[in-house]
Chain A
């Protein structure tokens, strides 16, 4: 059952709140929520790459990890087998709402967990894995032996797009005012000498 426009805006509003929180603590302002059966938010996350010193701690990972730490009771809630809990029983009933298009890493992670659907605010031209740089969400060629059951997922973009963009702009403007060079002025590419797999 497709969420109504009001539902989608309500859930994305939750994601924007998390992005704002990231902004307040000096992280790149990206936030997300994961919604079970379009009925309630069961996890949320925001970017934490500075705090953790780990450049992979994107909002999506924070939210997914919080579900994994609570997976048994969530499986119980949806009436799935709790003797040997299968996290996919839960994730396949979940939608992700994230303010910015998931990067390649997160787009692939969302395949791994078998998310049902992904809603995002603005696109991510530099890293986006759901259409901008690659189409990881729909790519059938990445079904290996072990993840043959990993379905593709649909994405829908544009919910509170302007708000998500403005939040990013505000972030980079502040970095600039602080004298921290941020996104501007792309640096010259280093010419790599070693490129055996091309």
Chain B
């Protein structure tokens, strides 16, 4: 194996196979040992004149070499000799062509030319609409009388294509510590969707399952929205929708927005414990499998 010259490397298990088994093996490997998105730059297979090797999985104290071999064996996975070796591969995707050429010596990688980020431009009418939705949220947040102990916080979820308000909810944490406005607003969208399906007599349990977004894993699995295909969605509850919040959401609410695949989030008041810019930047965290745009709106 070549040397990466890359200070950030991770260890992976590698096994040799017969080249004829490559496509079947790759398919099975994808479900037995999915690669985390953070290693998505690594190719799964390496072919050269002498041998064909597969990247099986990252080494970890959670799984032993023997248990990997027994999983492979139980699934009739054909290894050339029944052993694994350890290779060092680049932990990060290459940012430049030079890095690619240098780092791929130890294991093949894919490379995407970075795209220039365009400056954000909102038209006057965009801004008017954004302010209008923030006004709606603030009005809801400050609705008199509110019950005793209720905080002046609210959240709205909007379909930007139609400017339709899908849900707008006030915070309820004084009654239930997890019923923050954002959680309430997401739950309301889900409830509406369930009602819509029931009225179409399309029971949730029998609906057709849409292919899952390929990088879904462990938890955070969003619903298989069966009929979203014909509506242009990708199968997640808030795909294409925007959220307007009276204040920056906490980590729980920020991640809930990510799990729901929100498109954009606009909020006014920053918070020390906020998850979209202050304490964390969950919307652009490099290890998370989805990103969204967040805007803090300052008004006089």
How many angstroms from the CA of A184 to the CA of B253 in the assembled complex? Answer: 27
Instruction: Kindly provide the distance from the CB of B34 to the nearest chain A CB, expressed in whole angstroms.
Output: 4
How many angstroms from the CA of A59 to the CA of B53 in the assembled complex? Answer: 39
Report A146-198 residues with CB < 8 Å from chain B CB: 146-147, 161-162, 165, 168-169, 172-173, 175-178, 180-198
How many angstroms from the CA of A183 to the CA of B36 in the assembled complex? Answer: 8
- Contact check: which of A56, A61, A125 meets B36 at CB < 8 Å? A125
- Contact check: which of B40, B112, B220, B273 meets A142 at CB < 8 Å? B273
A13 within 8 A of B: no
Contact status B187-A193, CB under 8 Å: no
Chain A residues near B30 (CB-CB < 8 A): 176, 183-185
Contact status A147-B273, CB under 8 Å: yes
Could you tell me how many residues of chain B have their Cβ less than 8 Å away from some Cβ of chain A?
88
A35 within 8 A of B: no
Contact status A53-B34, CB under 8 Å: no
A78 within 8 A of B: no
Instruction: Kindly provide the distance from the CB of B73 to the nearest chain A CB, expressed in whole angstroms.
Output: 14
B47 within 8 A of A: no
How many angstroms from the CA of A196 to the CA of B183 in the assembled complex? Answer: 24
Q: Mark B89-131, 1 if CB is under 8 A from A, else 0.
A: 0000000000000000000000010110110100000000000
Which range contains the number of A residues in contact with the other chain?
A: 35 or more
Q: Is the interface of B mostly helix, strand, loop or mixed?
A: loop
Contact status A126-B252, CB under 8 Å: no
Contact status A56-B186, CB under 8 Å: yes
Contact status B31-A55, CB under 8 Å: no
How many angstroms from the CA of A126 to the CA of B34 in the assembled complex? Answer: 11
B194 within 8 A of A: yes
- Contact check: which of B214, B289, B294 meets A181 at CB < 8 Å? B214
Contact status B194-A53, CB under 8 Å: yes
Chain A residues near B1 (CB-CB < 8 A): none
Q: Which of B16-24, B136-144, B222-230 contacts its partner?
A: B222-230
Contact status B211-A181, CB under 8 Å: yes
Q: Which of B78-86, B156-164, B256-264 contacts its partner?
A: B256-264
By beta carbon, the residue of chain A nearest B291 is A192
B166 within 8 A of A: no
Instruction: Kindly provide the distance from the CB of A41 to the nearest chain B CB, expressed in whole angstroms.
Output: 20
- Contact check: which of A55, A147, A198 meets B220 at CB < 8 Å? A55
Chain B residues near A27 (CB-CB < 8 A): 221
Contact status A144-B271, CB under 8 Å: yes
Contact status A54-B294, CB under 8 Å: no
How many angstroms from the CA of A87 to the CA of B143 in the assembled complex? Answer: 26
Contact status A196-B295, CB under 8 Å: yes
By beta carbon, the residue of chain B nearest A68 is B176
Choose among B30, B205, B272, B273 the residue with the greatest number of A CB atoms under 10 Å from its CB. B273
Contact status B71-A53, CB under 8 Å: no
**A104-B282, A105-B251, A195-B293 as given contacts; A53 in contact with B215, CB under 8 Å:** no
How many angstroms from the CA of A61 to the CA of B255 in the assembled complex? Answer: 14
- Contact check: which of B62, B71, B237 meets A161 at CB < 8 Å? B62
How many angstroms from the CA of A110 to the CA of B294 in the assembled complex? Answer: 25
How many angstroms from the CA of A180 to the CA of B209 in the assembled complex? Answer: 8
By beta carbon, the residue of chain A nearest B260 is A55
> Which 7 pairs between the two chains have the least Cβ-Cβ distance?
A184-B30, A186-B40, A176-B31, A55-B222, A105-B255, A108-B252, A54-B190
Which residues in A have some Cβ–Cβ distance to B below 8 Å? 27-28, 30, 47, 49-56, 58, 61, 64-65, 68, 87-88, 100, 103-109, 112-113, 122-127, 129, 133-134, 136, 139, 141-147, 161-162, 165, 168-169, 172-173, 175-178, 180-198
Which residues in B have some Cβ–Cβ distance to A below 8 Å? 27-32, 34-40, 62-63, 67, 71, 75, 112, 114-115, 117-118, 120, 151, 173, 176-178, 183, 186-187, 190, 193-194, 204-205, 209, 211-225, 236-237, 250-256, 259-261, 264, 271-273, 275-277, 279-285, 287-289, 291-296
